[in-house]
Amino acid sequence: MKNKQLYAGKLILVIGLAKSGLAASKLLHKLGAKVVVNDQKPLEENVQASELHQLGIEVICGGHPMDLLDRNFDLVVKNPGIPYSNPLISGAIRKGISVVTEVEVANMISEAEMIAITGSNGKTTTTTLVYGMLKNSGRQPLIAGNIGTVACEVAETATTDHIIVTEVSSFQLMGTENFHPKVAVFLNLFDAHLDYHGTREEYGAAKAKIFANLYSDDYAIVNADDDDVMRLSANVRGEKIPFSVNKIVESGAYIFDNYVYFNNEKIIALEEIVLPGAHNLENILAAVCAAKVTGARTEKIVEVLSSFNGVKHRTQFVTTINGRKFYNDSKATNMLATKVAVSAFRQPVILIAGGLDRGNDFDELIPTLEKLKGIVVYGETAPKLALAAKKAGLTFIETVNNVNEAVNIAYEHSQSGDVILLSPACASWDQFKTFEERGDTFIESVYKLEK
């Protein structure tokens, strides 16, 4: 670790536990800080707080008492999910106390350079691709952040031989001051998390903090097809590396004559790329840029792109059974995500959709449903989805009780060459605890067809 004395003797308040708060508390305690942990969950129900208490760290649980701020803390480290409207957070800011998130701490003590990847969509896929390209090229990458291990835990053991590849959200970036990646990737900007940020402008400004501390010899990888990204990156100090699926760009990645190019070097034919979907081409181009500027070899990039079949639960290829290809897109918890998933395929698609009813109808999905061969619906939203499918003119519409039945019915009504896609367009909480559990159930049901 570098800057080992940076936090020594400092009085630091960690608000909110979960994985990031737990890791930050342990690291700061190890570095000699006087750590006070505050979490909403009562101590008797709080395994993480009890663990920290056993280490000799002061824990205050069951609420956020305002008199904590009377202690004149040097720093507040907050869980990214806690809004800035929280009285304790806003009170600390009014007192002039720096409020940061765990990725700031990780970056400050890491000996390894960092590739940081943000955007409204595609972060996890891009992060995974970059990691694979660098690993295959012998660059000793470590993966951290929202995907993989908490950044503090990775940074604590990283050396100058490593490079940390981390997915960072707007929530995390908003709580940064000196955060300095070697490579900053900004994929795209769509309306999201406006309940947290308030406006699209504030959301974009939080994302753009990924560029705030770049040096002239750092890299800013930007989507040349996204006007917001280009506007927010207009004054970056690092070398700007653009990528585009629509045009040829200088010193960056682009598509020409059905090939991926980087800086005029032919990388791979589009037909050799396994990952489906036009939307994933942006992720692939961004990953190629990040990998190339950090030393990945072209042949190793090709190996990854010709074998990588997707991040689990995100348009993930599962298997082929009697000519039917099965894809798990359980992460699609809204209509936009399902639109994107369906548009990724040229083959006939039978869609499996449904889940928690949040009160909306699905008329917005009708143009997408018109492209389908058929649909199998389940869960609380099954009647609404079936109605939208009927409006779209589909003739094959089946309503079932659960995902397992949906897989069986979809398979029975499919033929060789079809795609069977789980892309629910709904949250999972009517029948599952998480979208991951839903996706795993789908995968298990698919493999049962082979038995």
Task: Write down the domain spans for the chain.
Answer: 11-100, 104-305, 316-448
Region 154-174: mean pLDDT is: 96
Instruction: Say whether pLDDT at 148 is over 90.
Output: no
Instruction: Say whether pLDDT at 198 is over 90.
Output: no
Calculate the CA 63 to chain-centre distance.
29
Residue with tokens 């009170």: 91
Instruction: Say whether pLDDT at 423 is over 80.
Output: yes
Helix 278-293, helix 123-136: angle, nearest 10: 40
Instruction: Say whether pLDDT at 101 is over 90.
Output: yes
Whether 125 has a binding-site annotation, put simply, is: yes
Region 213-228: mean pLDDT is: 97
Instruction: Say whether pLDDT at 348 is over 70.
Output: yes
Instruction: Say whether pLDDT at 193 is over 80.
Output: no
Could you give the CA distance from residue 211 to residue 238 in angstroms, rounded to a whole number?
A: 8
Q: What is the CATH number of domain 104-305?
A: 3.40.1190.10
- What distances in angstroms separate CA 139 from CA 197, 216, 314, one per listed residue? 36, 23, 26
Whether 244 has a binding-site annotation, put simply, is: no
Instruction: Say whether pLDDT at 235 is over 90.
Output: yes
Whether 207 has a binding-site annotation, put simply, is: no
Average pLDDT, the chain: 95
- Between CA 182 and CA 189, with CA 183 as vertex, the angle to 5 degrees is 140
> Ramachandran region of residue 375, left (φ > 0), alpha (ψ -120 to 50) or beta?
beta
Region 153-177: mean pLDDT is: 96
Residue with tokens 């000519």: 323
Return the half-sphere exposure (C-beta side, CA atoms, 13 A cut-off) of residue 224: 18
Region 401-415: mean pLDDT is: 98
Please tell me the predicted confidence (pLDDT) of residue 15.
97
Whether 121 has a binding-site annotation, put simply, is: yes
Could you give the CA distance from residue 398 to residue 406 in angstroms, rounded to a whole number?
A: 8
The two structure tokens encoding residue 5: 């004395």
Calculate the CA 106 to chain-centre distance.
18
Whether 98 has a binding-site annotation, put simply, is: no
pLDDT level of residue 450 (50, 70, 90 thresholds):
confident
Name the CA dihedral angle for 168, 174, 175, 181, rounded to a multiple of 10 degrees. 50
Taking alpha carbons only, the member of 259, 349, 258 closest to residue 301 is: 259
Residue with tokens 């190019």: 261
Please tell me the predicted confidence (pLDDT) of residue 18.
87
Taking alpha carbons only, the member of 171, 190, 189, 168 closest to residue 180 is: 168
Please tell me the predicted confidence (pLDDT) of residue 192.
66
Which of the following CATH numbers is that of domain 11-100: 3.40.50.410, 3.20.20.210, 3.40.50.720, 3.40.50.2300?
3.40.50.720
Region 262-283: mean pLDDT is: 91
Name the 3-class secondary structure at 302: helix
What CATH class has 316-448? alpha beta
